[in-house]
Structure 1
Amino acid sequence: MREIVTVQVGGFANYIGSHFWNFQDELLGLAEQPHGDPVYRNSSMDTDVLYRTGETQQGMLTYTPRLVSIDFQGSLGSLRSRGSLYDEMPSSDPSHVVTWTGNVARHAAEPHKKNLFQQSLYEEQYKSTASTNDMETNDPSSQFQDKDLVGCLENSCQFWTDFSKVHYHPRSIYELNGSWIDLHDFDNYGIGRNVLSGSSQLEEMNERLRFFVEECDHIQGIQFIVDDSGGFSSVAAEFLENIADEYSNTPVLLYAVRAPDSYMNAAGKKKPILRSLHDAVSFSRLSSLCKLIVPVGLPSLSRSKASTYLCIDDAKPFHSSAVYAAALHSLSLPFRMELSGPSTDSNNVTGAVDVNGLIHMLADQARQSMVAILDVAMPAPPLAAGQGKRSFQESLCSLTPDVAEDDDDIQAVESMIIHGALHSGSRRASISEVMDSVNYAYQNSVTRPKFSHLSVARCPLPLPLPFPSIFGSLVGEHGELANPVSGSQSRGSVDINSIPMAARLRSSIAILPFVERRLGDLRRYGIQRGALGKDVVRNWGFQEEDLEDMGEALSKMVMALDPHSQDSSDSD
């Protein structure tokens, strides 16, 4: 068994996680359909890598994500923090405490009502329970239309739980006490440290993680997703410090994610300096506490090359998080593939690798860079069998910000996953056909990476019902790229069943502008004599020597990427 524990910290990280687990739930459902598409039933994927089995007090078997999710108080919408599978804990009404003789003031907020989609899930679960008890369930008035369910999410999605269709374990969801503040004020590294300071919350978070890790037979790694655009960055850093101490031999693959609206510049002179300092400190701290960090999140996904076939509304995290979740799902597939052996079905998957293998591949070769770039093609193009057709490599577009677009890096190292690939039309390509197409593209390319690992699976990305309507009219029912489809310009899970995907992690000199920018800002606003942000970082709890250490670490990272790079301190 090669288990993975997933950690999600912060609002946008949980938006991504909600989509991610919806994908897994959809795959589980399709695999159980006896007369469904065999590509899902025989996918050669081990779902136990991400999930755990359990049992309620009533003896009901459960299958829930091996997950720790951390977010604001009040961020769960209509979902209870203990999930919906297990009984609620007894009420902790302070008026019942007999040792307290003083007055008690009780403040209660009205519970959030379930939206149309969550109501449909509740009704579906009720019907399932009723049918088990041989009760009549044919009630035509309770039927929901799929287009109405998707429409309600498109127009009124407020929480990541609004579109989650997954059952969570009672120990999975943790609401951060003391975070009842305006989200826009929770925008810097220091405020997250203040929330944790002097409280027992960090140990409570560690206990949640310990529960899932200690029941693993042979954990292969921790998949850590953090919204690093504000105070949750420092919450994650404190959490990661404990993980490094307690699980020193367990590799951490860290995705530092950001929503498009987090890039909006506030008015005034102080805010841009605060933002630049936060970005520099956050990246420096997080990168020092993991084996590999992958920055994810463009300032405008809708105007990027990655949205060639998409219709994204940058103001909706429901939209952008779906794209990033699809990429993370693709990248996680090799961790779940059956390892090579006599019983392995090589007709469905190839290229299995565990978390440690991926990190060793990207971070320990060539320049020993611990920062990777995430590229995606969504949907992936049809197979390129000859001249004049775009290859998978040419269709990939970066989801990592501040990346050099044109880099001919002969020292680059990459790991690519392609799944559900199609020929022109809708016929699925075989594993060997995909591999031949990729090899053909490299043979006819002027530049190619120093090392490339390829994983291929025939199983496409299924689109669950709550997936947003973000595809353009050129995308067909199975993700094929065809002539424009008549009707609405935006299409989603009501119109499209699945899509082929290609995703890639690469260690390349193209990340150099990203690192140099953060090093330059750290020196300009935090380290240099008379720097405008010295008081800010001091209030965040950092001394001058701490910033010097951060600057030295980032400088070494720059030199590792490009030994001939001009030290940015000369220009600051």
Structure 2
Amino acid sequence: MREIATVQVGSYANFIGSHFWNFQDELLGLADNHECDEIFKNHNLDMNVLYRSGETHQGIPTYTPRLVSVDFQGSLGSVSSQGTLYNEAPAPPGGVSTWTGGVTTCASEPLKKNLFLESLYLEDEDVGNASFDSGKNGSRSEIQDKDIVECLENGVRYWTDFSKVHYHPRSLYELSGLWMDIEDFDNYGVGRDAFSGGLRAEEIGERLRFFIEECDHIQGIQFVVDDAGGFSGVAGEFLENIADEYANIPVLLYSVHSPDTCIDPKSKKQTISRKLHDVVSFSRLSASCKLVVPVGLPSFSMSKTSSFLRMKDEKPYHTSAVYASAIHSISLPFRMEQLGPSAQSSYTCGAMAVNDLVQMLAGQARQNMVSILDVSMPAPSLTGYPVPQSLLENLQPLNPEIAEDVEDFQAVESMTIHGVYRAGSQRASISEVKDAVQAAYDNAVTRPKFSHLSVARCPLPIPLPFPSIFGNLVGQHGELLDMAISDSASRGSLEVHSIPMAARLRSSNAILPLLENRLENLRKFGIARGALGTELLRNWGFGMDELEDMGETLSKMVTTLKPYSEESSDSD
């Protein structure tokens, strides 16, 4: 077994995670559906890599994500932090034995389930009732899918509002007792203090330990953090503890920003605070993981990434769906069933473990451990003349601080392509995808020093609660059409059932603008004599020695990608 534990820290990270686990749940459901496409029954993906088997106290089998999720208290909406499978009510707070007076309990009314969650509840009731009558009042069949889709498009407030997954009671952790407004939880320092306060560090660490210690041979930790505010401080301290306790387990970190956190601050003080937060967050997070992937576009609607998508930047329900799709695709090789050296599968190829990816991208001579995530959604077909160059050209970065059209002869990358078509409605075979990628690189202006390709014939399934973000040039199975298929500007899960995907992680000097911006801001606002942010950083708990160490680390990162720069001569 090659298990993976997943950690999601912060509200936006959990929005991404909710979509990610919906994809996995959809794959599990389609594999058991006798009427679905055969490709979903033979996807050759080992779901045990991400899931754990267990049972309730009543002996009922369960299958839940190997997940630790951290968010604000109250962020779960109408969903209980104990989940729904085990029905374990939280223990009431213990009384103070020396108190003899009266006790008053204040409790708020639970939030009402939205239409989607209500349909899931009724569906579970139907499954548990052997004498279920499809015409029974209040049954799942009476809630129309189109009403559910409309409800979600107009009413998602919490990431649990569209989650179709059952969670283990140890998975969902709420940060309680912060005694501050969410708007004030906006920098690394306050998150650092929150994690260290009370028993939070111990409680969160114990939850991860529960999942890791039951693994036979864990291959890595998939970590997603909402990097824009205090949750990066929570994650930074948590990652430091993980590095101490599980030194041999590689951590693949996705550091994510939602579009609303990329809006320019209103004051100079807020601008400096955000820039220093980004510096400290990047430095601290990258110090405790094997590979960090910065993700966050300021606007999807204005980016090349959304050529065939119609998204609203102000809706995290929309934008997080794209990031989740990319993470699903790039993580497929970790759970592809590994066959013997002479065996071949007609459904997947290119399996690898998390550590293999880390060594490939971060273990090269330059030791660059910051990678770029590119995505093509939906991926184009392999048809093209004279070669399917568009397969590579359609890959777009999910971070704005990336240099375009750079030549890097030391670049290394890992690409995953799944569910693509060769022509019409015919899915391409493994060999056809490999030949097409090879042909595309043979005709490309630049090509990486080394490229690993993973291929799966199974596309990305689109579950019912997926947002309506596809344009009207996207067909039912994700094929790109020459003419609009409907008058509606956007299409969702009722019209699009699956899509082909391509995603790529690359180690390249194209990441230099991000690193150089972090280094410049640290020097200008944190280290320079009379810097405006020095006192702010001191309040966050960082002295000058730590800041200079951060600067030296960032300088070395820049130098590894730009060996003939002034940074290199200064360090000699």
Identify the TM-score tier after normalising by the shorter chain.
Answer: over 0.9
Would you say the 8 A contact 1:471–1:490 is kept in 2?
yes
Answer yes or no: is the 8 Å Cα contact 1:366–1:411 preserved in 2: no
Question: What amino acid sits opposite 1:27 in the alignment?
Answer: L
Query: Do the aligned partners of 1:178 and 1:195 also contact (CA within 8 Å) in 2?
Result: no
Amino acid in structure 2 at the alignment position of 1:2: R
Deviation of residue 196 (structure 1)?
2.6
Shift of 1:99: 4.4
Q: Which residue of 2 aligns with 1:300?
A: 299
Match of 1:552 in 2: 552
- The answer as to whether partners of 1:523 and 1:569 remain within 8 angstroms in 2 is no
The Cα of 1:181 is off from its aligned counterpart by 3.3
Letter in 2 for 1:76: L
2:360 is aligned to 361
Native 8 Å contact 1:3 1:48 kept in 2: yes
Aligned to 1:83: 83
Per the alignment, residue 216 of structure 2 pairs with: 217
Cα deviation code 1:396-424 (max 9, x no counterpart): 00002300011121111000000001123
Q: Give SS of 1:546's match.
A: helix
In the alignment, what sits opposite 1:472? 471
* Structure 1 counterpart SS, 2:487: coil
SS at match of 2:64: strand
Q: How far did residue 105 of structure 1 move?
A: 4.2
Which stretch has the larger CA shift, 118-127 or 102-111? 102-111
Distance 2:137 2:378 in 1: 37
Matched, 1:461 2:460: yes
Corresponding residue for residue 162 of structure 2: 163
Cα shift at 1:19:
0.2
Confirm or deny that 1:248 pairs with 2:247: yes
Whether 1:541 and 2:541 are equivalent positions in the alignment is yes
Query: How many Å apart are 1:182 and its aligned residue?
Result: 2.8
**Per-residue deviation, 1:275:** 0.3
Q: CA RMSD in A?
A: 1.7
User: Which residue in the other structure is 2:136 paired with?
Assistant: 139
Tell me if the contact between 1:311 and 1:472 (Cα under 8 Å) persists in the aligned partners.
yes
| Cross-structure match for 1:154 | 153
Contact 1:16/1:324 (8 A) holds in 2: yes
| 1:10 counterpart residue number | 10
Partner of 2:512: 512
| 8 A Cα contact 1:130 1:137, kept in partner | no
Deviation at 1:97, TM superposition (A): 5.4
- For 2:195, the equivalent position in structure 1 comes to 196
Q: Which residue of 2 aligns with 1:274?
A: 273
Task: Compare 258-267 and 227-236 and name the one that shifted more.
Answer: 258-267
Residue pair 1:416, 1:453 contacting (<8 A) in 2 also? yes
Residue of structure 1 equivalent to 2:235: 236
What per-residue deviation string (whole Å, max 9, x for no partner) do you get for residues 334-355 of structure 1? Answer: 0001123179552000000100
Aligned partner letter, 2:278: D
The one-letter amino acid of 1:326's match is S
Give the deviation of 1:185 after TM superposition.
1.8
- For structure 2, the 5+ residue unaligned runs are none
- Contact preservation (8 Å) 1:13, 1:225: yes
The alignment partner of 2:12 has SS state of helix
Partner of 1:491: 491
* Matching residue of 2:64: 64
Taking structure 2 as the reference length, what is the TM-score of the superposition? 0.96
| Partner of residue 438, structure 1 | 437
CA distance in 2, matches of 1:223, 1:324: 14
> CA, structure 1 residues 217+281, in 2 after alignment: closer, same or farther (shift >3 Å)?
same
Any idea what SS the aligned residue of 1:423 has? strand
Partner of 1:46: 46
> What residue identity is the alignment partner of 1:305?
K
Instruction: For 2:92 and 2:82, locate their aligned partners in 1 and report how far apart those are by CA, in whole Å.
Output: 14
The answer to which of 378-387 and 296-305 deviates more is: 378-387
Between the aligned partners of 1:90 and 1:232, the Cα distance in structure 2 is 25
Q: 1:109 to 1:361 in 2, by over 3 A?
A: same
| Deviation (angstroms), 1:198 | 3.5
**Aligned counterparts of 1:121 and 1:273: Cα–Cα separation in 2:** 46
Q: Closer, same or farther in 2 for the Cα pair 1:153/1:135, shift >3 Å? A: closer
Deviation at 1:389, TM superposition (A): 4.7
Deviations 1:3-60 (A, max 9, x none): 0000000000000000000000000000011342111111111000000000001111
Give the direction of change, closer, same or farther, for the CA distance of 1:218–1:150 in structure 2 (3 Å limit). Answer: same
Secondary structure of 1:335's match? helix
Q: Distance in 2 between matches of 1:391 and 1:3?
A: 35
Contact 1:6 1:68 in 2 (8 A): yes
Residue aligning to 1:187: 186
Native 8 Å contact 1:384 1:437 kept in 2: no
1:562 matched to 2:559? The reply is no
Letter paired with 2:317 = F
Residue 414 of structure 2 aligns with which residue?
415
Deviations 1:315-335 (A, max 9, x none): 000000000000000011000
1:265-291 CA-to-partner distances (Å, cap 9, x unmatched) read 231210000000000000000011100
Deviations 1:502-559 (A, max 9, x none): 0000000000000100111111111110000011000000111000000000000000
**Partners of 2:240 and 2:226 in 1: how far apart?**
17
CA shift for structure 1 position 135:
4.3
Shift, 1:390, TM fit:
3.9
Q: 2:116 is aligned with what amino acid?
A: F
Q: Does 1:178 align with 2:146?
A: no
| Equivalent residues in 2 for 1:263-412, closer than 5 Å | 263-341=262-340, 344-387=343-386, 389-412=388-411
In 2, are the aligned partners of 1:391 and 1:437 still within 8 Å (CA)?
no
Amino acid at match of 1:104: V
Q: Confirm or deny: 8 A CA contact 2:334 2:352 kept in the other structure.
A: yes
User: What is the CA–CA distance in structure 2 between the aligned matches of 1:116 and 1:317, rounded to whole Å?
Assistant: 19
Q: Which amino acid aligns with 2:133?
A: E
1:34 matched to 2:27? The reply is no
Letter in 2 for 1:156: G
Q: Deviations over 1:114-146 (max 9, x none)?
A: 001101111111111112xx3435226541111
Matched, 1:524 2:524: yes
Amino acid at match of 1:428: R
Whole-angstrom distance in 1 between the partners of 2:242 and 2:195: 16
The alpha carbon displacement at 1:102 in A equals 4.2
Partners of 1:20 and 1:180 in 2: how far apart?
31
What is the letter of the counterpart of residue 173 of structure 1? L
User: How far apart are the structure 2 equivalents of 1:106 and 1:519?
Assistant: 51
Contact 1:19/1:325, CA 8 A, preserved across alignment: yes
- SS of 1:353's partner is coil
Identity over aligned pairs, percent: 63
Any conservation in 2 of the 1:44–1:345 contact (CA below 8 Å)? Answer: no
